[in-house]
Amino acid sequence: MTAAKEELAYVLINPYTVYKSRTGGVISRLFTRTALELVAARMFAPGRELVERYAEIAVSPKDPQDRKIQELIRQYILDNYSPDPKTGQRKRVMMLLFRGEDAVRKVRQVVGSFQADKAAAGETIRDTYGDYIVGADGQVKYFEPAVLAAPSPEEAETKLKLWAKYSDTDGGFLEKVVVYPKNAKVEQTLVLLKPDNFRFPSARPGNIVDMLSRTGLYIITIKVHHMSVGQAEEFYGPVRVFLREKLKEISGQRARLALEKEFGFGLDPQTEKALGDIMGPLFANQQFSQIVQFMTGRKPEDCSGPAKAQPGLEKIVAVVYEGTDAVAKIRGVLGPTDPRKAPPGTIRRELGKDIMVNAAHASDSAENAQREMKIINARENDLKPLVEEFYNCQL
């Protein structure tokens, strides 16, 4: 039996699905039911040209959905992906890109197809989040497909190349896309879904996004990232300084107890403090090294020179949220660094393990968010190079 060929498969999460914060539920379904690798993600605010070109190729003889449904999807794209005809305001669309054997079929199976003679029962994404309502006269009263995906590998290639071609002009860091009330205190904040969420296919990444949706904030960028050792050291640099000071006292106490047990006599407080001054920075460096290794998959002491700039072995997903008081709202849902101290209902209480393996990171200030976004290149286009490399083309 011939092994299935590795493919790229995309899912476009429609503007209404993104607006209604159903994104997390969609992600959970895709991760758990396809078991494919998420290799790229990008936000889009499509312009008229991209929308029209995508609508042109929406109807396909290889699509298992009947022609009537395909025509509905074509019109849906024109009506719902296009900028507002009155204001020119663009709409947010999220693209997720998966890679693996038989990826297109697996994704399409989870997405589902509308069938006039089958009632939605929640089996697929479209069953749960989409609507296809037909009146007594046989006319379609309401149509919302929730997400869009290609029906075949050939069409996935054609449509991915189209979206990748427009990924710089119509996608990326979506500033000035959301309209806010006058004088609103609008902030941007960064969330990193940590490597522990991607050890195996699970609903965890989607659950985190779903829990963060209760803030009412808007996702304006998303990116799959492999943090380098150099990036991790810079990103967590303030943590190293904090640890060196915080761990002096505990290091001194532990060193004193160990020495007293070993030598059989007591040590005075001045000696304990001196031990803390010596051991604290060493212990802090060891803890910092563990953080870097957890985020990158590499020990920092094993990397030097150009090796520090190499992409890490671990996957994280960076998401930028925007809205009123974004920093405080995100951190409130995330919970304290230590999951044991986090209130019920917070992400870290439900999904965290310890201070380091605690599901996600969130910026502690709007200023720090900008610093952190710059370090991980949040504005970088990771979609286009991947599509070009996979299909061996230049877009």
Active site residues: 361
* Whole-angstrom distance, CA of residue 253 vs CA of residue 240: 20
Q: Which of 84, 73, 80, 76 is nearest to 112 (CA)?
A: 73
Which ranges of the chain does DSSP label H, i.e. alpha helix?
Answer: 15-19, 23-34, 48-56, 67-80, 103-111, 125-129, 153-165, 204-212, 229-235, 237-263, 269-296, 326-334, 347-351, 366-375, 383-391
Bridge partner residues of 190 (DSSP): 320
> Could you tell me which residues are beta bridge partners of residue 186?
324
Among 378, 391, 307, 281, CA closest to 43: 378
Which two three-digit tokens encode residue 98? Answer: 């998966």
**Contact predicate 303/229, CB 8 Å:** yes
d(CA 368, CA 190): 9
Q: What letters, b where the CB count within 10 A reaches 16 and e where it falls short, cover 29-63?
A: bbbebbebbbbbbbbbbbbeebbeebbeebebeeb
Could you give the CA distance from residue 214 to residue 223 in angstroms, rounded to a whole number? 21
Residues in the chain: 395
Alpha carbons 239 and 72: distance in angstroms, whole number: 53
**394 phi and psi angles, rounded to 5 deg:** -120, 120
Whether the Cβ atoms of residue 362 and residue 334 lie closer than 8 Å to each other: yes
